Structures are given as structure tokens and as C-alpha cells.
A = this chain, B = another copy of it.
């Protein structure tokens, strides 16, 4: 038997552990990226790693706390499906989707790119929404607690003020039970969604539901996070819109009923100044109790 040889120091206490806490360690992780990393990936991940490490150091994040976060992330993935994106919802409740939407919009304005990135549409937009005649309805299975409204407006050029004929107004909304048609077997296909093409005067119109608040799904880690943060789950009443016209920058937006609850504390922080709208009583129309006028001005797409 050979004698013990080259005794290897002892335990691994303070010195190495403290080393890992510092900026040197973060630099090591960032510099581990290889030369074939794309410049944009390098920029994004360098900043992400720096901020995540700074966060962990700042709050002295413990292993148990970190593991709780890992478990919530794994749970989010496990309950996500074609019809539900829990990872997205977790980002929404910390305001991240709203923030990247704003950043993306700002970048697009700067670079003069069209604003039609599909991801900002959220999980409920559909690409195959039917075009419907102006003045018709998108509510086909109006629930007993549903209130019908008539929505109309004019699409004009921000530069000249001239009406834009042939602009497409793509609209979708949830029913009073908080579900979009593809989440709800009780609603018919394409209920509460439609595309409307503006006439020669740039006008569009349709009947829809006056929107109602609904809670985001609370049965997953996003709901768990809201509970841990002592926050409610509700979104204010809103309608989704995309407005597109040839030669103009498209706009993807949500409009919020000015009389809705939760305007000040939307659980996913989507309410922004200038996006609230006023429903007013509609007279002499048995088909609708309220009406909403929403005019849209589109910026010219510079080439």
C-alpha cells in the first residue's frame, strides 16, 4: 500500500465561496461565451447574466429561495399548452410583456419598421379571423349578462388627416365569462372576433360586447405569484385591435373601458395613458345599449 501522498488542503470554506460572490465570477460566466455567439445574443445574455447575478447578490438569495423559483418555472412549462402560455403570464404579472411591447414599439418607430411582430399579439389573436361587413356583429352567442355595444370610427393619415380607405381593423375580445372563443367550447368558432375594412371615407363599424373585467387564470404559478405578492388577479375590461393599411405603420393595441374597475391596477400592467375609451348610451338602436367612437390615425410608412 502506498503512503498517502500530496494531501489536498482541507475543506473548502470561506475563501473559494467568497470568490464566487464577486464580479470576477460574473465576468467569468459572461466571458465563457464562445466566438461564434451572435453579437446580439452576446449583448442580451451578458446583460441578463449581469443583472441576475446582481439581483442574487443584492438580496443574498438563498438556495431554497432560488429552488422555489426553479420549481415555479418548471411548473409554468408543465401547464403550458397550445392554448395556454403560463410562462408568458408569469412575465405579464411582473410587467415584462408590457415593457418589451413598449420597447419593441419604440425601436420600430426609430427604425421605421412595421409594428406587426406577431408575438405582441398575445395568445388569443387568430390569423384566420374572417372579414365581416361593416355594421354587422361579432357577438353570436351573446351571454345573458352580455351588453351589446356599437363601435365605429374613422381611420385617417396622421400626416395629412385624409381618410384611409381599405384599412383593416382586426378586433377580438373575451366573453363575459373571461374566456376567448378558442378557450371556451360553449362559444362558436370565431365568436367575438372579426376584420372590418374601412369604406371610402375611412369608416368602420360593428357590434360587439361592452367588454368586462376578468381574472387571469389563477391555478398555476402565475396565480401563485400574484397571491404571494398579495395582488388580485383581475384585468380591466378591454378590446384588442390591430389596424393595418398599405403604406402606413400598423398599430397593435388594447383599448380599455374608462368605467371599468382595475384600470389603475391591471394585473398584467397593460393599461397605458391614451388607451382608455368612453362608452356612451346609444339611442334608437334596439341592437345596442352603448356606443363607442374610436378614431385611429396611422403614421405613414416611410420607405
- Determine if A158 is an interface residue (Cβ-Cβ < 8 Å): yes
Residues from chain B with Cβ under 8 Å of A160 in the complex: none
Give the residue name and chain of the B residue nearest to A232 (CB): B34
CB-contact partner of A16 in B29, B88, B274, under 8 A = B274
Q: Is A65 an interface residue (CB 8 A)?
A: yes
A54 and B51: CB pair below 8 A? yes
Q: Which of these binds chain B: A137-145, A178-186, A275-283?
A: A275-283
Q: Which residues of B contact A50 (CB under 8 A)?
A: 55
Q: Given A94-B52, A269-B28, verify A284-B251 contact (CB < 8 Å).
A: no
The answer to whether A102 and B7 touch across the interface, beta carbons within 8 angstroms, is no
Q: Are B60 and A251 in touch, CB under 8 angstroms? A: no
Determine if A41 and B229 form an interchain contact, defined as CB atoms under 8 angstroms apart: yes
Across the interface, which residues of B come within 8 angstroms of A6, CB to CB?
Answer: 278, 280, 293
Contacts of A9 in B (CB 8 A): 274, 295
CA distance A8 to B257 in the complex (A): 11
Instruction: Please name 19 pairs of A and B residues whose Cβ atoms are closer than 8 Å in the assembled complex, sorted by A.
Output: A2-B284, A6-B278, A7-B153, A10-B295, A11-B251, A12-B274, A16-B273, A25-B102, A32-B231, A33-B230, A36-B230, A48-B59, A51-B51, A52-B96, A74-B80, A74-B85, A75-B77, A76-B77, A78-B78
Residues of A within 8 A of B (CB): 1-2, 4-21, 25-26, 28-29, 32-38, 41, 43-45, 47-67, 70-71, 73-80, 85-88, 91, 94-107, 109, 117, 119-120, 152-153, 156, 158, 228-231, 243, 251, 253, 255, 265, 269, 272-278, 280-285, 291-299
